[in-house]
């Protein structure tokens, strides 16, 4: 994953000297030169057709780089969306004599609706299902194109497709398509640094964590899917105008696989990779024509290359190039110092921040949590302890919304959050960390924490502008002692530091209640001391903490209040020292027999 | 013999420049080039090979007889990958070579549809084998067809079934691709004109693994004769077997695939006694017999229409250019249209203003696995 | 009624083919959590092996049959080593795409070697079929149905009552636990791939006399078989069988009573309906909650 370097805020908290568009002037100048070249250079029909194909295909592949690269969702029906756009322009301009522009827009809208509906129906399910549904959709679209002859002319295809009056000549039309390519490329390139783009990357890296930091996972996925479909439709519309003829076999499943391969070959994560992949996969078959004497041979080689690319170049050609420069680039940036972190937990309820009543969670016949009550007082550290398998983590998962409660009620600051999805709970003021650390691994520490700061309803980020987000994130990172390494990738941090980043991510969101799931697990003794000291500093700012841990020293020193679970039931609750001396607790830990 | 310095210099100059002179002469047309888009890869790669065989055979004959306008003729082959985008690319690659005077397009109608806009733009003659009637009726003057179009196959099937076999209750089964749909339509309207409208018109999707519903529909319709347009031989084979298994034994007159060599091989006895229309039948004329012999001598296997039409296309194109005395596209067009009663492997060519060269079909019969010529049916209009 | 009976027989016959291929899908999915998009090509390759042995070389049918299945076991092993194993630690996405690549590779290698012409493979029996009252029973379909039933019983016995079967079960349920118990997970996965390839190959050989042997035969069947696994409930052996049969019947009746050209559409429509309204399939468990 590459964030273009000029796009990373170098001087934090200093307002940008130049507006965004001005800073990207070189890109637009380059694009303009390219468009001008296409419009004026002489090339023969063959080169023209190759360029036309490459340009329109690249836009469709950009769509894949959004859904697959940014959001990590598979789409095996890009050719179908491409076909929807192509047929809208084809049929609209030839049979119904409509304006090209109207048809192009209609094609995009149809693709958008189809993509959104398809996404909404299946994106709640896992990847294999999505793969299958998109294949099915692809097949159905192909069948409809072939069989609804009254509408689509069936397998004959649509000919005499019109172009806009402005771009009647092939060359000017190609130039127009190149301009569209440049525009779409710009949007896709910068998408990853917008709020939506960050959300997509977070979903791709870790769906569960994305949910608990306040991202609406489902909506993000549907957006990515719909956006990819729109780009497919747009590309198809341009394609239809370019070749003046379309037929169903151009939009078959095989073409979807070609799109996917283009995307993978170049590097799925970036539009530059998409462009490289598209160019190569259009040119390579042309170059390899000498293999044509044996039918099937070059497609066999193509299949083999797909396997080899996946095996040896998982991030594609562009990813491969990037990897070589990544380390060098991230080292060049030195983040500025940040102000002290402020935590202003909301305070609208009464004395009790979290009220759990009769909470149960059954897995089939297994009662993992069975009628548990917990009351967490404002401003304190509350610990939830119990032997392995006692239901602590399940309880935490039900509270944060990863599991649906079988029975019971959860009130956060007086609001009933029992039936909310995780991202709404986050918006309501819940923050958490995970026992097995769940960070967004392809991003830098700063980006991780920024996503936390972006929590809907966080009052401390003003309008949520990029500068404010970065400032807030830097404060949180500095608070846990990692401010100076903000721009490093997650993989370069030690296990203990990754824990601290996860805590910083939760703190940046300025939660009302912080859930810590075994924060000391896997830490060495000096790291534990640091953690303990950190907890004190957090508590000092009045943030309420609910903590699970096995480390009794940490628990007994940090927590004022303890709830003990065993076999899914609450066996003790009260002030720390008293609870720890409770006979049931002792026997639960040491065994009774 | 004294070799002066001047002589030496001149000789050296000739020696150095000669290849360039020859090269540029070649570029300017030491040969006459004919472009050919043909599937070298993709599902129809093998048929593509047969097509090349036919074209090369004709080319050899043309060159032996003195070539075109006194120059040797040459084929420039491009792979159309058996796809529509493939043929658009292949054709644009050929079209970019200015010295190509004429082209062979595809036997596939959708591919011809795909390349048609580019053909119109280029404005040079393209010989085609696609049989969708619309191809020569969409105002494109540069397409010349070397197989009878589907409106004729439909009319021949209908005529043969109604007038020769005396059957009136027709069931039509056709694939839903371009070929099958157009053919089915042509057959249905021909039957309509003969006053015996079909009792069943059933489409099916290519690569169906099972035809029981189709066979049962034929059975239920009470038809006493079956007319078919099948695209793929394996579909035809499955259908034929299931037809016989489920006890349907009515006469069957079908499009060329019924009597194709590979269908005969796949379906075996299930196709015995069926009739098919064939644009190429070896016993239909002297020219066909001559082509059959030449092809067999050259390639040791029997030819079919896949190689017969490119053979005729190259022969006719060469004859037309020679007749026109020029490679000017308009003159070639006029020359092709003026050819009358030109004998070819596929039949006797009489080009009409649309560019259709043939106006009828042969009917052949499957005699226990052997394809025998039955009769030729031609139409004047 | 006669019509319906005939359709029912054909539907079950073609459904049994889907079921056989679906079984191969399910076994690999359970063991590796990966959908093998090249499963259909296993069927195609096996059918071509049969053509090589039984038709070209004129070896006895049973010998060719055994050799073809042995060849499939080998192909399954190579597939595992070349495609799945190197990617086993990656997410499902690269693996899916690699199997798509493998499917293109297999189909086109056979095309390069054998050419695009469909081939004929004779059936196991001399008699093409039996007329039973109004219904004609194709002997090859009868064989396919019988083999499918035998395999259902065999799989049940194998997975529930043999040590190897239990080890395979354990591996598919919990790899870590299995390896703690001393089961070699990579061996088990290897066996799964080989067995799946053999099953796919069996389907291909059995169906070849009906559909002929062609490059495309695998991919069409595989898509339907995949739909069958989802309809039946992913990862469930009984579900794959029931899903396959159901799909065959739905398709045949849909073609007869609604529309022949949209025959393939029914399969995918049913699939989409299932995915939207009952993603766990007929038999499947609830889509697992994971944290």
A273: which 2 tokens?
A: 């990779």
Which residues, other chains included, contact B368 with Cβ-Cβ below 8 Å and sequence gap of 6+? B272
Range picked from A255-264, A307-316, B47-56, C261-270 for highest mean pLDDT: B47-56
pLDDT band at A326 (very low <50, low <70, confident <90, very high): low
Contact residues, chain A, for B113 at CB < 8 Å: 156-157, 159, 245, 247
Query: Helix %, strand %, coil % for chain A, to 5?
Result: 60, 10, 30
- Within a domain: B65: yes
- Within a domain: B4: no
Chain B contacts to C (CB-CB under 8 A): 43-46, 176, 202-205, 207-210, 212-214, 216-217, 220, 233-234, 237-238, 241, 245-247, 262, 265-266, 268
pLDDT band at A391 (very low <50, low <70, confident <90, very high): confident
> What number of other Cβ atoms are within 10 A of residue A168's Cβ?
10
Q: What is the pLDDT of residue A378?
A: 87
- What is the rounded (10 degree) CA torsion for C142, C143, C145, C147? 160
Chains in touch with B (≥3 Cβ pairs < 8 A): A, C
Query: Helix %, strand %, coil % for chain B, to 5?
Result: 50, 20, 30
d(CA A73, CA A504): 28
Size of interface A-C (CB pairs under 8 A): 137
CATH code where residue B109 lies: 3.40.50.2300
Q: What is the pLDDT of residue A176?
A: 94
Query: Residues B250, B368: one domain?
Result: yes
Is C6 in Cβ contact with B262 (below 8 Å)?
no
pLDDT in tens, A210-231: 988 889 999 999 999 999 999 9
Q: Considering only residues B3 and A437, tell me which one the structure prediction assigns the higher pLDDT.
A: A437
3-state secondary structure of A363: strand
3-state secondary structure of A525: helix
- Within a domain: B40: yes
d(CA B200, CA B170): 7
Query: Residues B144, B200: one domain?
Result: no
Q: What is the pLDDT of residue C69?
A: 95
- Within a domain: B14: no
Which residues, other chains included, contact A64 with Cβ-Cβ below 8 Å and sequence gap of 6+? A75, A78, A228, A259, A260, A262, A263, A268, A274
Size of interface B-C (CB pairs under 8 A): 81
Across A469-473, A521-525, C29-33, C224-228, least confident range? C29-33
pLDDT band at A126 (very low <50, low <70, confident <90, very high): low
Query: Residues B176, B307: one domain?
Result: no
Contact residues, chain C, for B46 at CB < 8 Å: 115-117
Query: Residues B162, B237: one domain?
Result: yes
Residue A405 pLDDT greater than 60, yes or no: yes
Query: Residues B241, B368: one domain?
Result: yes
Is A293 in Cβ contact with B92 (below 8 Å)?
no
Question: Left (φ > 0), alpha (ψ -120 to 50) or beta: where does B195 sit?
Answer: left
A321-328 CB contacts, 8 Å cutoff, 24+ apart: A322/A2, A322/A267, A322/A270, A326/A2, A326/A489
A571: which 2 tokens?
A: 């066996």
Q: What is the pLDDT of residue B10?
A: 47
3-state secondary structure of B159: helix
Q: Considering only residues C14 and C170, tell me which one the structure prediction assigns the higher pLDDT.
A: C14
Question: Left (φ > 0), alpha (ψ -120 to 50) or beta: where does B186 sit?
Answer: alpha
Is A129 in Cβ contact with C230 (below 8 Å)?
yes
Q: What is the pLDDT of residue B27?
A: 46
pLDDT band at A455 (very low <50, low <70, confident <90, very high): confident
Q: At residue B348, what are phi and psi to the nearest 5 degrees?
A: -95, 120
Query: Residues B125, B177: one domain?
Result: no
Of C225, C230, C218, C265, nearest to C244 (Cα)?
A: C225
Contact residues, chain C, for A121 at CB < 8 Å: 272, 275-276
Q: What is the pLDDT of residue B174?
A: 93
Average predicted confidence (pLDDT) for chain C = 85
CB-based burial label for A528 (10 Å; 0-12, 13-18, 19+): middle
- Within a domain: B165: yes
CB-based burial label for B197 (10 Å; 0-12, 13-18, 19+): middle
Run of H or E including A566: strand A561-566
Choose the mutation target among C45, C99, C112, C115 for the interface with A, i.e. most A CBs under 10 Å: C112
Q: Considering only residues C174 and B287, tell me which one the structure prediction assigns the higher pLDDT.
A: B287
- What is the rounded (10 degree) CA torsion for B143, B148, B152, B158? -150
Q: Considering only residues B4 and C257, tell me which one the structure prediction assigns the higher pLDDT.
A: C257
Contact residues, chain A, for C226 at CB < 8 Å: 132, 135
Q: What is the pLDDT of residue C274?
A: 79
Average predicted confidence (pLDDT) for chain A = 84
Which residues, other chains included, contact A490 with Cβ-Cβ below 8 Å and sequence gap of 6+? A439, A440, A441, A442, A443, A444, A445, A448, A498, A501
Which residues in chain B land under pLDDT 70? 1-29, 42-43, 381
- Contact between A547 and A531 under an 8 Å Cβ cutoff? The reply is no
The angle at the Cα of C192, spanning C191 to C197, to the nearest 5 degrees, equals 100
Mapped to the 3 state alphabet, what secondary structure does A389-429 carry? Answer: CCCHHHHHHHHHCCCCCCEEEEEECCEECCCCCHHHHHHHC
Tokens 């004998």 locate to B343
pLDDT in tens, A188-202: 988 988 889 999 999
Q: What is the pLDDT of residue C164?
A: 87
ipTM: 0.83
Q: Considering the domain delimited by C2-290, tell me its CATH architecture.
A: Orthogonal Bundle (1.10)
Q: What is the pLDDT of residue A336?
A: 63
- Within a domain: B8: no
Can you give the residue range of the structural domain that contains B188? 151-278+364-378
Q: What is the pLDDT of residue A328?
A: 62
Mean pLDDT in residue range A230-240: 96
Q: What is the pLDDT of residue B234?
A: 84
Measure the N-to-C terminal CA separation of chain C; round to a whole number of Å: 53
- Within a domain: B9: no
Mapped to the 3 state alphabet, what secondary structure does B94-132 carry? Answer: HHCCCCEEEEECCCCHHHHHHHHHHHHHHCCCEEECCCC
Query: Residues B292, B201: one domain?
Result: no
Number of domains in chain B: 2
Query: Residues B212, B67: one domain?
Result: no
Chains in touch with C (≥3 Cβ pairs < 8 A): A, B
Is A250 in Cβ contact with B41 (below 8 Å)?
no
Contact residues, chain C, for A128 at CB < 8 Å: 29, 35, 92, 96, 234
What is the DSSP code (8-state) at residue A113?
H
> Which chain B residue is nearest to residue C17, measuring alpha carbons?
B209
d(CA A318, CA B191): 62
- Contact between C39 and C196 under an 8 Å Cβ cutoff? The reply is yes
Q: Considering only residues C109 and A10, tell me which one the structure prediction assigns the higher pLDDT.
A: C109
Strands A352-363 and A366-377: antiparallel
Q: What is the pLDDT of residue C205?
A: 93
Residue C215 pLDDT greater than 50, yes or no: yes
Query: Residues B239, B374: one domain?
Result: yes
HSE (CB half, 13 Å, CA atoms) of C123? 16
What does the domain layout of chain C look like in residue ranges? 2-290
Residue A80 pLDDT greater than 80, yes or no: yes
d(CA A472, CA A450): 8
Residue A47 pLDDT greater than 70, yes or no: yes
Q: What is the pLDDT of residue C53?
A: 93
Query: Residues B237, B194: one domain?
Result: yes
- Contact between C188 and C23 under an 8 Å Cβ cutoff? The reply is no
Residue A162 pLDDT greater than 90, yes or no: no
Query: Residues B217, B77: one domain?
Result: no
- Within a domain: B229: yes
Q: Considering only residues C96 and B343, tell me which one the structure prediction assigns the higher pLDDT.
A: B343
Residue C286 pLDDT greater than 80, yes or no: no
pLDDT in tens, A272-283: 888 888 888 887
What is the DSSP code (8-state) at residue B196?
-
Across A394-398, C38-42, C127-131, least confident range? C127-131
């Amino acid at each position: 994953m590459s964030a273009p370097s000029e796009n990373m805020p170098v001087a934090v908290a200093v307002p940008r000297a130049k507006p965004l568009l001005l800073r990207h002037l070189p890109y637009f100048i380059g694009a303009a030169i390219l468009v001008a070249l296409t419009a004026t250079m002489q090339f023969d029909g063959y080169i023209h057709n190759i360029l036309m194909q490459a340009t329109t295909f690249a836009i469709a592949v950009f769509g894949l780089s959004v859904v697959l690269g940014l959001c990590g969702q598979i789409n095996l029906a890009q050719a179908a969306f491409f076909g929807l756009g192509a047929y809208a322009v084809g049929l609209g301009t030839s049979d119904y004599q409509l304006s090209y522009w109207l048809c192009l827009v209609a094609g995009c809208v149809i693709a958008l609706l189809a993509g959104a509906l398809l996404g909404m129906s299946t994106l709640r399910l896992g990847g294999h299902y999505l793969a299958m549904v998109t294949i099915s959709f692809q097949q159905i679209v192909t069948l409809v194109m072939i069989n609804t002859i009254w509408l689509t002319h069936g397998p004959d295809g649509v000919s005499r497709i019109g172009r806009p009056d402005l771009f009647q000549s092939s060359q000017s039309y190609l130039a127009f398509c190149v301009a569209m390519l440049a525009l779409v490329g710009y949007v896709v390139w910068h998408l990853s640094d917008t709020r939506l783009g960050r959300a997509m990357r977070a979903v791709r890296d870790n769906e569960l964590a994305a949910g608990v930091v306040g991202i609406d996972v489902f909506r993000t996925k549907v957006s990515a899917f719909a956006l990819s479909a729109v780009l497919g439709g747009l590309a198809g519309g341009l394609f239809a105008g370019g070749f003046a003829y379309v037929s169903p076999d151009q939009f078959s499943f095989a073409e979807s696989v070609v799109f996917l391969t283009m995307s993978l070959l170049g590097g799925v994560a970036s539009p530059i990779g998409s462009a490289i992949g598209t160019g190569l996969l259009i040119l390579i078959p042309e170059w390899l024509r000498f293999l044509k004497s044996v039918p099937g041979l070059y497609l066999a080689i193509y299949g083999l290359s797909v396997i080899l690319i996946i095996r040896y170049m998982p991030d594609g050609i562009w990813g491969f190039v990037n990897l070589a420069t990544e380390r060098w680039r991230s080292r060049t940036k030195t983040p500025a110092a940040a102000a002290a972190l402020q935590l202003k937990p909301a305070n609208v309820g009464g004395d009790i921040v979290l009220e759990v009543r009769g909470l149960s969670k059954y897995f089939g016949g297994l009662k993992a949590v069975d009628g548990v009550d917990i009351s967490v007082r404002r401003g304190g550290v509350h610990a939830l302890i119990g032997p392995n398998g006692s239901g602590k983590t399940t309880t935490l998962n039900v509270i944060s919304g990863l599991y649906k409660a079988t029975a019971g009620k959860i009130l956060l600051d007086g609001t009933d959050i029992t039936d909310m999805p995780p991202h709404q709970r986050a918006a309501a003021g819940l923050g958490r960390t995970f026992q097995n650390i769940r960070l967004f691994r392809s991003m830098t520490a700063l980006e991780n924490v920024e996503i936390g700061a972006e929590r809907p309803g966080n009052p401390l980020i003003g309008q949520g502008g990029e500068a404010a987000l970065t400032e807030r994130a830097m404060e949180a990172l500095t608070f846990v002692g990692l401010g100076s390494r903000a721009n490093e990738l997650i993989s370069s941090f030690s296990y203990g530091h990754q824990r601290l980043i996860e805590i910083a991510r939760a703190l940046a969101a300025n939660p009302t209640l912080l859930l810590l799931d075994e924060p000391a697990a896997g830490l060495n003794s000096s790291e534990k001391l640091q953690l303990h000291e950190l907890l004190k500093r957090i508590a000092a700012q009045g943030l309420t903490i609910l903590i699970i841990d096995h480390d009794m020293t940490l628990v007994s020193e940090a927590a004022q209040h303890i709830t003990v679970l065993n076999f899914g039931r609450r066996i003790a609750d009260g002030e720390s020292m008293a609870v720890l001396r409770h006979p049931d607790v002792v026997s639960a830990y040491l065994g009774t027999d | 013999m004294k070799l002066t310095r001047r002589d030496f210099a001149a000789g050296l100059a000739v020696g150095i420049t000669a290849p360039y002179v020859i090269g540029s002469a070649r570029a300017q047309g030491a040969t006459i080039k004919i472009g050919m888009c043909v599937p070298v890869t993709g599902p129809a790669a093998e048929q593509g090979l047969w097509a090349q065989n036919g074209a090369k055979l004709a080319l050899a004959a043309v060159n032996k007889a003195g070539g075109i306008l006194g120059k040797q003729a040459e084929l420039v082959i491009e792979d159309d990958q058996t796809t529509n985008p493939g043929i658009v690319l292949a054709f644009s690659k050929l079209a970019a070579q200015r010295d190509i005077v004429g082209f062979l397009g595809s036997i596939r109608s959708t591919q011809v549809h795909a390349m048609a806009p580019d053909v119109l733009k280029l404005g040079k003659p393209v010989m085609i084998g696609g049989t969708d009637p619309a191809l020569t009726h969409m105002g494109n003057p540069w397409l010349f067809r070397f197989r009878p179009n589907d409106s004729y196959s439909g009319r021949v099937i209908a005529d043969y079934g109604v007038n020769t076999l005396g059957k009136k209750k027709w069931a039509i089964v056709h694939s839903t691709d371009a070929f099958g749909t157009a053919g089915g339509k042509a057959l249905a309207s021909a039957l309509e004109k003969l006053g015996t409208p079909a009792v069943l018109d059933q489409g099916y999707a290519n690569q169906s693994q099972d035809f029981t519903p189709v066979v049962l529909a034929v059975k239920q319709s009470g038809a006493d004769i079956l007319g078919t347009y099948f695209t793929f031989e394996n579909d035809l084979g499955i259908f034929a077997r299931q037809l016989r298994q489920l006890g349907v034994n009515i006469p069957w007159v079908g499009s060329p695939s019924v009597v194709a060599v590979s269908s005969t091989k796949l379906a075996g006895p299930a196709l015995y006694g069926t009739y098919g229309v064939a644009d190429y039948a070896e016993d239909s004329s002297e020219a066909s017999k001559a082509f059959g012999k030449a092809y067999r001598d050259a390639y040791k296997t029997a030819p079919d229409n896949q190689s017969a039409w490119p053979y005729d296309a190259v022969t006719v194109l060469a004859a037309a250019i020679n007749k026109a005395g020029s490679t000017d596209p308009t003159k070639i067009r006029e020359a092709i249209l003026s050819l009358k009663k030109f004998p070819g492997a596929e039949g006797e060519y009489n080009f009409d203003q649309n560019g259709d060269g043939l106006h009828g079909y042969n009917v052949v019969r499957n005699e226990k696995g052997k394809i025998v010529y039955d009769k030729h049916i031609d139409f004047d209009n | 009624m006669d019509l319906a009976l005939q359709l029912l027989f054909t539907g079950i016959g073609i459904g049994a083919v889907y079921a056989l291929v679906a079984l191969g899908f399910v076994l690999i999915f359970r063991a590796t959590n990966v959908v093998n998009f090249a499963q259909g090509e296993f069927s195609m390759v096996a059918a071509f092996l049969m053509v090589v042995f039984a038709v070209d070389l004129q070896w006895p049918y049973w010998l060719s049959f055994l050799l073809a299945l042995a060849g499939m076991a080998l192909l399954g092993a190579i597939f595992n080593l070349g495609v799945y194993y190197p990617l086993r630690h990656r997410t499902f996405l690269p693996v899916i795409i690699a199997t798509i690549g493998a499917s293109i590779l297999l189909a086109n290698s056979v095309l390069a070697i054998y050419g695009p012409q469909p081939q004929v493979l004779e059936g196991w029996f001399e008699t093409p079929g039996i007329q039973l009252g109004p219904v004609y029973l194709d002997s090859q379909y009868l064989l396919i149905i019988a083999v499918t039933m035998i395999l259902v019983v065999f799989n049940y016995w194998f997975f529930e009552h043999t040590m190897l079967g239990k080890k395979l079960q354990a591996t598919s349920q919990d790899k870590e636990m299995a390896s703690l118990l001393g089961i070699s997970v990579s061996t088990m996965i290897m066996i799964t791939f080989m067995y799946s390839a053999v099953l796919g190959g069996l389907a291909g050989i059995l169906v070849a006399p009906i559909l002929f042997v062609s490059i495309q035969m695998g991919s069409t069947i595989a898509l339907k078989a995949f739909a069958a696994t989802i309809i039946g409930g992913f990862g469930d052996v009984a579900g794959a069988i029931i899903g396959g049969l159901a799909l065959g019947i739905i398709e045949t009746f849909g073609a007869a009573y609604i529309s022949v050209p949209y025959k393939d559409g029914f399969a995918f429509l049913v699939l989409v309906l299932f995915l939207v309204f009952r993603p766990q399939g007929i038999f499947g468990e609830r889509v697992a909650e994971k944290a």
